[in-house]
Amino acid sequence: AQSVTQLGSHVSVSEGALVLLRCNYSSSVPPYLFWYVQYPNQGLQLLLKYTTGATLVKGINGFEAEFKKSETSFHLTKPSAHMSDAAEYFCAVSEISGSARQLTFGSGTQLTVLP
Amino acid sequence: GAVVSQHPSWVICKSGTSVKIECRSLDFQATTMFWYRQFPKQSLMLMATSNEGSKATYEQGVEKDKFLINHASLTLSTLTVTSAHPEDSSFYICSAGTIYEQYFGPGTRLTVT
């Protein structure tokens, strides 16, 4: 069975500071890993994903994540936080279910950006 | 491309009535769709996997007779909450995808009074 652990349900950073959101996973097969962002009362928007190949993945809005197999981690970073980054962030791992990928989500991290 | 829509975006209904939520893949065919439920300040919990032309697969603890799922075509899945109660109030999100990625709908806010 696959699972995801997000360390820190709330993270606060100052505007312009480094953003680091932590994600560790457990999977019995090589994982596909995802980071999603959710703004209030909205659906999920894909930030980035890792499937195969390069372990450093760049996404939208200046975010990136690095897949570290030895540490079973997929932490999300952004060099300089912007006020518009304030949102809920979910890490997810997936496995094949029929003809699609079934996602298992972490508990989420609420990012607050302080002026 | 890869747009998933949900309708309605929000709905208020009285206790004991039924509510239907539609999930559509607008520009691709989705053999498999997923339905999630999200309580305030919590993560998404998978309710069921909807397969076109066959019965849905429900996660443990989800009442299949209460949450009816129909996937009649490759672009439409529906979730019907039957005999709704206030505890069914939640944010329901669907997704559709391929073996590479899932695409999420904008969600439906259900409030049962």
Q: Do A100 and B31 touch (CB under 8 A)?
A: yes
Tokens of A67: 């897949």
Partner-chain contact A103 B49, CB within 8 Å: no
Q: Answer with the residue of higher pLDDT: A30 or B35.
A: B35
The answer on pLDDT for B108 being more than 90 is yes
List, for residues B25-60, the tens digit of each pLDDT value.
Answer: 998 888 889 999 998 888 899 999 988 888 899 999
Specify the residue for token string 């195969």: A52
Closest to A101 (Cα-Cα) out of A50, A67, A58: A50
Can you tell me whether residue A90 is helix, strand or coil? strand
Confidence category of residue A98, pLDDT binned at 50, 70, 90 = low
The alpha carbon of residue B40 is apart from the nearest alpha carbon of chain A, in Å, by: 10
Q: Can you tell me the distance from the alpha carbon of B99 to that of B113, in angstroms, rounded to the nearest whole number?
A: 39
Which residues in chain A have Cβ-Cβ distances shorter than 8 Å to B102? 94, 100-101, 103
Q: What is the rounded average pLDDT of the residues A66-92?
A: 96
B80 pLDDT higher than 70? yes
Q: Please give the order of strands across the beta sheet that includes A73-78.
A: A3-7, A19-26, A73-78, A64-68, A56-58
Instruction: Give contacts of B42 with chain A, Cβ < 8 Å.
Output: 107-108
Residue A97 has pLDDT above 70, yes or no: no
SS3 state at A2: coil
Q: Given an 8 Å threshold on Cβ–Cβ distance, is B102 in contact with A103?
A: yes
Q: Which residues of A touch B107 (CB under 8 A)?
A: 41-43
Distance separating alpha carbons of residues A49 and B75, to the nearest angstrom: 24
Chain-chain contact of A41 with B91 (C-beta, under 8 angstroms): yes
Average per-residue pLDDT in chain B? 92
Give the pLDDT band of residue A55 (cuts 50, 70, 90): very high
